[in-house]
Amino acid sequence: MKSSISLKSILVLFGFSASVWVLADDSALIVESVDKKACSLVLEQACITKKHDAEKKCLPWHKKEASSKGANTVLIGETTVTTHRRPMYDGTSKKVKETTISASYYLCPVEAASVDSSQSVNQQVKPAQDLSIEQRLTQLNELHEKGLISDSEYKDKRASILNEL
């Protein structure tokens, strides 16, 4: 049985506070807020997909795009979903769902991209050690299957979890 994975699961597994999203592919961080005084806007982009799991496609795409444009921080903006009917050859129509996830790419100093510890005191996520080993391995596997962590990160983290036995 497949269960859904949440941002909180990613954060718990890797020990980050709840206001910063970190994915494994590229060097860009996906964040919930940016210090616009310290960071400079590089580009605004939108990812448009007809896939059911738009975040699985668009978040890594935004990270890759941001890195290729020289940005190190991605601020996810508005997500819109539209549906329309597409005519088929047999005279019927098919319902098509299209998801657009917009984002702004920023170049930030490292300390501006991370969260101020005083802001995140109330947003702490419970440590990964509070979860059972089975739960942590399940979350790790889900992250790997969704492409949110690389093969080497998966193997390293799996080995460290199993070493706790």
Q: Is the pTM of this model over 0.75?
A: no
Q: Are 13 and 143 in contact (CB under 8 A)?
A: yes
**Among 19-33, 38-52, 67-81, 114-128, the least confident range:** 114-128
For the chain, give the mean pLDDT. Answer: 75
For residue 115, what is the DSSP state? P
Q: Are 13 and 136 in contact (CB under 8 A)?
A: yes
pLDDT confidence tier of residue 20, bands split at 50, 70 and 90: very low
| Residue 43 pLDDT | 92
Beta carbons within 8 Å of 72's beta carbon, 6+ residues apart: 27, 28, 29, 66, 106, 107, 108, 110, 113
pLDDT confidence tier of residue 90, bands split at 50, 70 and 90: very high
Structural domains of the chain, with CATH: 22-118 (3.30.110), 127-165 (no CATH)
